[in-house]
Structure 1
Amino acid sequence: MSGIKKRIVTHYILVIFLTIALLEGIFLTFIHFYYYDGVEKILKNHAQVSSSYANRYMSLNSYNLDDSLQLIKDQFSYEGAELQVLDGQGRVLLTSSGIGLDEVIKTDDVMQALNGVETSWRGDHFLTNESVVAVSTPLFEAEQPFAVLRFITSLENVNQTVYNIYAVSIGIGLIILFIIFLVSITLAKSIAKPINELTLASEKIAKGNFQSKIKETYIDEIGTLAKTFNTMADELTKNEKMKNEFISSISHEIRTPLTSIKGWSETISSGDLSDKQETMEGLHTIQDETERLIGLVEELLDFSRYQANSLTLNEKPFNLTALFKDVIFQMKTKTKDKHMKIRFHFDQDLLMIGDKNRLKQVLINLLDNAIKYSLEETTIIIEIEENEQNVKFHIRDEGVGIDPSELPSVTKMFYQVDANQSGTGLGLAICQKIIELHQGSLHIESKKNEGTTVTVSLPKK
């Protein structure tokens, strides 16, 4: 039996066993008192009535006791019990059974009765050795006990009845315990089986098999866990695919500028250095490609900080309007290549507190995406709205757009709408993180072939 099954069965059986034992104990205690105390109570009642009658109406004393024995027997005999009359020394003067005459009895009940106290006693009969209960009550002469009325009844039938009830009760308890044992095994299997499936599936995933799934046949929390696990496996599969695409993409991104740098380095080193134009063209290309590599390295560093949740802000006052104009000027070459225009009409100074360099990174990424996915000779419109609490800016392009089904994924790590386009799939994810660190929000609206609008909301500080 596996560990969890063993624990479930053991704990379940232990709880049920203790419950049954407690109930059995209470029941058997009740049975014991009901039968034994019931018999004793009946004898006591008869003994009290008999002694009270004898002491009050029969005028018994040590002188006429022997002559009154037959009358006592006739008056006080009780069916199912043996009547004994004992003198002041405990010697048996009369017994309704006819046996044991002249025997001296010194049991506790007799000695207590000779001291004037009615009491009972349980033990073995001095002649038959059977289990009996006896009740002794005193007879008084001048307020002094001089004789004892003693009633004895056998407990053998009571013992047998009680033992039978004990046996039946314990047997029923054992049967219930056995049934509970079988039920607990079934319960343990129903819990352990999906957990074992989950463990095996987890081991497969740990080894890189993200296609491993478990059955979703349960309708309780285990079923919910199975669905969650399968969702996790699907997400891991997607992440693994995106990671592989990212590695392929970043390898391509790095290889291209390195190839250009290597090519132009070889050309310059082996060429005619007197050809100033060619040399300057090569150096210019090497400079551009180096800047591109630096940008890739910065993006990877940001990714590393993103993963470690250690992206930090250096917040200072700055002019958001001036920042927009600076970024638009920086993107001028890219828009010129595609004969595009960026329309931005907001001349008043908009002072804010934030990390200027990080927000510049956001603006460059958003504008770069807008240019990259826009058609030639189109326009990108930038609009700014402000109120007392927030500043919102919208970047609207007339590009190819994004399918609505892909919108929830565009800000995920490594995700690229078009795998053929250059890029690492990290830009928007890092942008969103930077905006969230500024306690703002990023929202994207898009329709296929109708363009995209990115809205960023930042709180004023």
Structure 2
Amino acid sequence: MITGIKRRIVIHYTLVILLTVALFEGIFIGIIHFYYYDGIEKSLINHAEISASLANRQMNITKQNLDQNLSIIRDNLIHEGADLQVINEEGRVLTTSSGFGIESLIKTKDVQEALRGKTISWYMNNDVANERLLAVSTPLIDEGEPYAVIRYITSLEEVDRTVQNIYWISISIGAVVMIATFLISYTLANSIAKPIYELTGATKKIAKGNFESRIEESYIDEIGTLAKTFNYMAEELTKNDKMKNEFISSVSHEIRTPLTSIKGWSETMLSGDLANKEETTLGLSIIQKETDRLIGLVEDLLDFSAYNRDSIRLNLSTTDLSRLINDVTSQMKAKASNKHISIIFDTSDTQVLSEIDPNRMKQVLINLLDNAIKYSPQNSSITITCTETNDNVIVTVMDEGNGIEEEEISNITKMFYQTNAHKEGTGLGLAISQKIIDLHHGTLNIQSKINEGTTISVTIPKKK
């Protein structure tokens, strides 16, 4: 049973073709009817009028000599395929070309109208022979008054048979066209509905969490584009699902590590000698450090939530970016020194002013430096520059780290994405930094070469 979109397509196509075929069938039947019946009728009317004119003018037949000239009329005014009748005013048949029906009375409509001076045709049924007849009657006029009728009668049996055959052929062709239309529309509907059904099934699988579901891309036109778009969406969902799982794993690890450390040192301090100042100081220092890690993680998660709600807002003020970078550099040097990494920044007194949110921009710089330290080898250096043009301020962070694969560069600013899932972090830093830079109407550009290092440039307009 045909249902859904297939049913609608088949019905619509079939209905359109049915109406078109019916219209052309009607026009064709009308033309055939006109060609055969009207042609015969006009031919008989024309012949009857010419015959009456010949009888009146050239044969000099009048009311007084009609009976003497019946044979002349019969011999000279016959029409092939039609029976000629001469009928007087009383409706009596005086002569016929076939020799039948003489002396019979005819009071039919066409004869009555002809005796009033009109040429008229009339279709009638011959019940004896079971056939249709066409009669054309025209008056013979003497001194302006009709006195007799010349009548031609022809059988329509052959014409009816021919026309009916043409009708049946026409109807058969129409039926064949409709069947072909139905089959073509069904095939077309199936070609459209099949990928939609596949798409529906694949969508249901994805809705249930099966992101590996795909559909064929062999279709053409918009259907093929839809299939490719769906598969692209499924691939992106697969990547996002993988990143989400990695994110959950990373966050779980990030939370577990400081909590384990805090719990361990808390138990150690409680079970130990609290009078041991050195041990207590060390424990409290580690607890403070791990607490700061947890606070940073929570702040990242809060920023992630704000990112998703698109509710990150800026508090703009004219800020010296050079001084801000210097503050961040001083803050991050302790972490860099643990890996013997030097951070190089020209701390000249030149001001580089820009209208920014200093706290948000500090967050970006800390993230860039933190990543540079994380992915740089020991005994390397990180170089920071801050330059300005007429309209923009450009901050560049260059490291000598492992570099980033070219195909990964376009992904590292996406949520949860990490080039190395085993490294610490949540994969949110660069994504949030990108959002902050976008809100400043700036741009973030990343260039990297494997085993040579990565250069990240942040361009911010001086004025929003």
Deviation at 1:418, TM superposition (A): 1.4
Alpha-carbon distance in 1 for matches of 2:247, 2:358: 28
Alpha-carbon distance in 1 for matches of 2:298, 2:460: 28
Alpha-carbon distance in 2 for matches of 1:351, 1:104: 124
Partner in structure 2 of residue 354 of structure 1:
356
1:155 to 1:99, Cα distance in 2 relative to 1, 3 A:
same
Partner in structure 2 of residue 457 of structure 1:
459
Partner in structure 2 of residue 76 of structure 1:
77
State the SS of the aligned residue for 1:165. helix
Of 40-49 and 232-241, deviating more is 232-241
Q: Does 1:370 align with 2:345?
A: no
Alpha-carbon distance in 2 for matches of 1:459, 1:105: 110
Deviation at 1:39, TM superposition (A): 0.9
**When the two structures are aligned, how many residues end up with a matched partner?**
461
Deviation at 1:412, TM superposition (A): 1.9
Alpha-carbon distance in 1 for matches of 2:112, 2:128: 19
Question: Residue 423 of structure 2 aligns to which amino acid in structure 1?
Answer: Q
1:370 to 1:74, Cα distance in 2 relative to 1, 3 A:
same
Query: How does 1:306-385 map onto structure 2 within 5 Å?
Result: 306-345=307-346, 347-385=349-387
Partner in structure 2 of residue 198 of structure 1:
199
Partner in structure 1 of residue 305 of structure 2:
304
Alpha-carbon distance in 2 for matches of 1:40, 1:312: 92
1:106 to 1:459, Cα distance in 2 relative to 1, 3 A:
farther
Q: Does 1:16 align with 2:12?
A: no
Query: How does 1:210-359 map onto structure 2 within 5 Å?
Result: 210-345=211-346, 347-359=349-361
Question: Residue 422 of structure 1 aligns to which amino acid in structure 2?
Answer: E
Deviations 1:268-303 (A, max 9, x none): 444444444443433333333222212212211222
Partner in structure 2 of residue 174 of structure 1:
175
Q: 1:408 aligns with which of 391, 399, 410?
A: 410
State the SS of the aligned residue for 1:331. helix
1:80 to 1:293, Cα distance in 2 relative to 1, 3 A:
same
Q: 2:436 aligns with which of 434, 437, 448?
A: 434
Alpha-carbon distance in 2 for matches of 1:182, 1:105: 58
Alpha-carbon distance in 2 for matches of 1:101, 1:213: 91
Q: Percent identity over the alignment?
A: 60
Alpha-carbon distance in 2 for matches of 1:370, 1:338: 12
Alpha-carbon distance in 1 for matches of 2:460, 2:112: 102
Q: Is the contact made by 2:269 and 2:280 (CA closer than 8 Å) also made in structure 1? A: yes
Alpha-carbon distance in 1 for matches of 2:110, 2:357: 101
Partner in structure 2 of residue 154 of structure 1:
155
Alpha-carbon distance in 1 for matches of 2:85, 2:357: 111
Of 102-111 and 128-137, deviating more is 102-111
CA RMSD after TM alignment: 2.4
Alpha-carbon distance in 2 for matches of 1:339, 1:24: 94
Question: Residue 460 of structure 1 aligns to which amino acid in structure 2?
Answer: K
Question: Residue 210 of structure 1 aligns to which amino acid in structure 2?
Answer: F
Deviation at 1:58, TM superposition (A): 3.0
State the SS of the aligned residue for 1:311. coil
Deviation at 1:226, TM superposition (A): 3.1
Alpha-carbon distance in 2 for matches of 1:450, 1:291: 32
State the SS of the aligned residue for 1:80. coil
Partner in structure 2 of residue 393 of structure 1:
395
Return structure 1 stretches of 4+ with deviation > 6 angstroms: none
Deviation at 1:72, TM superposition (A): 1.5
Q: Is the contact made by 1:382 and 1:394 (CA closer than 8 Å) also made in structure 2? A: yes
Query: How does 1:117-128 map onto structure 2 within 5 Å?
Result: 117-125=118-126, 128=129
Q: Is the contact made by 1:380 and 1:397 (CA closer than 8 Å) also made in structure 2? A: yes
Q: Is the contact made by 1:100 and 1:127 (CA closer than 8 Å) also made in structure 2? A: no
Alpha-carbon distance in 1 for matches of 2:295, 2:93: 121
Deviation at 1:129, TM superposition (A): 5.2
Alpha-carbon distance in 2 for matches of 1:459, 1:132: 99
